[in-house]
Amino acid sequence: MSSVAAIPLPTASDPSKAAALASMPGFDRVTKKTLGQEDFLKLLSTQLANQDPLAPSNDLNSISQMASFSSAQQMSDLVTSLKQFIVSQDFASAQSMLGKFVTVKTGTDKATGEIQSISGTVSNVGYDKNGVSIISIGDQTYSPADVIGVQANAPAATATTTAAAASGA
């Protein structure tokens, strides 16, 4: 009779063997940080299928769990809707600056604490590659959140300087 040598398998309760366990076939799954409605329904149906028919689980617990899950799902949907609303409001704010003379904070002088800024007329409004609203002054883009002043028209001194520069004087 031949004997089969027992191969010791690492266990999940042994943290030093976790890497070996994770590299074994069948243990290469990615864990989720949150459970979805589908996960909850699978868990609930498995629980109901495996319960003792002579001692069924309390219906109130299942109803309470479902209500809690439904509430959490609605909160998640509300957060998503609120984020979409904020993005559209941010863009509407940027659009309202189109054609106006704005002052944008570009930084703060570390030595003096003085705010550094640039001013100019907003020539374009759009989104950056991350979907965040931007405004353009000349060939530079800025966040509408950095705007520290808005005027309908350029100040007279700036308008005069711009007109003199345009006429070649």
- For 154-163, write each residue's pLDDT tens digit: 877 654 333 3
Give the separation between CA 140 and CA 124, rounded to whole angstroms: 10
Give the separation between CA 67 and CA 103, rounded to whole angstroms: 50
Asked if 65 and 44 count as a contact pair (C-beta separation under 8 A), the reply is: yes
The pLDDT assigned to 5 comes to: 58
pLDDT band at 27 (very low <50, low <70, confident <90, very high): low
SS3 content of the chain, % helix, strand, coil (to 5): 45, 20, 35
Could you state, in order of their start, the residue ranges of all structural domains in the chain? Answer: 90-164
% the chain with pLDDT above 90: 25
pLDDT band at 118 (very low <50, low <70, confident <90, very high): very high
Give the separation between CA 98 and CA 125, rounded to whole angstroms: 7
pLDDT band at 11 (very low <50, low <70, confident <90, very high): low
